[in-house]
Structure 1
Amino acid sequence: MEDELIDSSRLSLSRKSQLPGAGFFYPDSLDEDRAEERVAEAVEDAEAVVIADTDADGLGCVALIREMYGAALDVATFEDDVARRVERWESEGPMDDEEEAEEPEDEETPRSTVALVGAGPYSLDEALERVAEYAPDGIDAYVCDLCPDEYEWVEAELDALLDRAGSVSWYDHHQWNEEAAAAVREAGVDLVVGESDEECSTDVTLRSLDYEFGERWTDLAEVTRDHDLWQKNIPESDDLSDYAYWVSPEEYVAVVGAYGVDLPEIVEQFIELRRVEKQQLIDAALDRAEMKRVGPWTVGVTYGRCSQNEVAEGLRERGSDAAVVVKPAGSASIRGSDDFERAHEVARQVNGGGHPKAAGCKPDIYDDMLDYAHHWTTNGAATKRVILAAFERVAEAVEEDADDEGVETDR
């Protein structure tokens, strides 16, 4: 396959909105060896390691831990790289998403003694396993902004890490299964779980670490929480979220570690350049949206490569109680509201999980590339049907519970 066929920067906005980024088309097997090498290199001489989600909340935790260890990277290299990207955007236009998030090419870029290992909900077990295999004996290990649905899923990998590490601490704010939380603690992990509707993981990490952090870090936690919990009271919170999404994890951690929420001018310039296209992709997704009545709720459903939180907000403004944003890669984001706090219940029906008002999933319905081709050409029709059916099952369960308790529902 020619590289040009999967280069998003060459696509019209409409096609870019409907297709996944270039990274989707590379088989996982091609990345596995390199991912293992990256972990081995990162933890080789480290005194601590943080396995974290790579959104602004997870990376905020990494910045805090590096500050405590005095292990922040020099921000100058990353600022120079931002300046080069701004110059290229202004002269050549948008880059492909994967190219945007590449690490700086300077081979002399130092490694922090607090290693960062990025992970997601579906790769947590692999991250634990790799760190357990390659980290030095006695290392301090942290897990941040990640939650296993079931303890059995990470049991063997966590045991291996506990055997290797001097200590393992886990800071999170997701909805934990009580049995899973008890088992993690019983295994020997210092697990702290905050209230998911009151704290973000950066909050939890800030109050859990035995270190006197300055006001800059309190501000970082507050602004991160504003976006992560979708409170939307602080304009700067969008800057942090967008920046974390668009650049490499190491760049984000270095910049917010050095500046907190007061991002340097060149970073603000970069964010503003990127937001032009971001808004266009949001508008395209909103133009495709449909409103569906499911039980007592109005559900806004759409498809596209876009910023799901802003799209969900737009759907709420149109009258939806819940929003479903199906992505070209096959996953979907489910967002709730004050009238719908069961997003995590819907997601659990289709291979996912999350918070009452914010969850994600990826239905297990893609057997081969023809299924994905159908997905792209129908704007995710099959995925939409599966998720709406999950809403129906949750609505039926709510009605049954209400009948049992003798409570009338809106249905």
Structure 2
Amino acid sequence: MADVGVVAPNSVVASETDVPAIIFDRVGVAYGHGKKTTHALVDLNLRVAVGETVALLGPSGSGKSTALNALAGFVRPTSGRVRLAGRDVTDLPPAKRGIGVVLQSYALFPHMRVSDNVAFGLKSQRVPRGEIADRVAEALDMVGMGDYGKRLPRELSGGQQQRVAIARALAIRPRVLLLDEPLAALDARLRQSMLAELQRLKEALPDTAMLYVTHDQAEALALADRIVVMNDARLMDVDTAENLWRRPPTSFTAAFLGGANLIPCTVGRVIGTSALVTIAHKTVSAEAPQPRTGKVDWAPGSRALLCIRPHALQIVGLGNRDALRANVNATVWRGATTRVVLSVGGMPDQLIEVDAPGNAKFEIGAEIGVRIPEPAGVLVRIPT
């Protein structure tokens, strides 16, 4: 797999900021031997720039937490090297890497007061005693917990404990901050509040690189400068959140990030990055992106997948001349929208999902019309 990451500007002498904060160089992690070998991470190549926030996004077992643990030093790679600011840290213990780590479980010491929890890393680094109190106060103030230093963790809410865990990671002034599912244990309201806090924190730490592990795409879209989509222990795609949303390179990313409809189609005429495609005997226009590396030939007559987000489709009357005829299979009210699952005539065994505004009422089995936007969406290669 080609190296994926930030390309430094051309210069004769590279500045400190040109050196990536994080480099995964063909990193692999495996457990067991022979036929019983389990690959938890395969050939990961990734670079994260100074000050950049990168989200590792994927389902359970995709390898995202293993990548973070390999960077933190909690697991030893079986292949490849890990570098921080150009320094090979593959063989260094976690305490020697100078990384701030925030875990889903918070991992606060229950017998220590908040200030002592935050001071723990500073004491481990043998920071002079006279500096510790100021550093602890600075870190707690940064997360809005300056008045809670004398409390025990059990006297705090889940959101407050998470803030303390972040303060403890920030107290050592790390150049790299790792966050492993930091909001997963919080309820929906606290999660939104903490997400806003993390966005503010990101702005306040312009020189700190962050690696954020999550399975929640909303968190990744809100926080990340780039998103790394992972599956089956491998990096699938990496790009800015906007690019991955608008032009997903693979069917996995299209479906996982935003739950897109992937509708089989036949490619017709192609002009530049636009194509005419046929679905269910209807011809529509679509975006036909070219990859950054290599050339994809959307040849006339070839088969592809048309990626259309559920919110882009519209339910209309059967009399609408642009409508495809469809039958309602299921509906799920989601508050602001109703997700309607449809089977479309001319597309056997293919279900599509449409988001209708409000608490729309449709009878199961009812025949309705669905209108495809123009342009319809973006072409995605059928996986081989």
TM-score under structure 1 normalisation? 0.25
Q: Rg: which structure is higher?
A: 2
| Structure with greater strand share of residues | 2
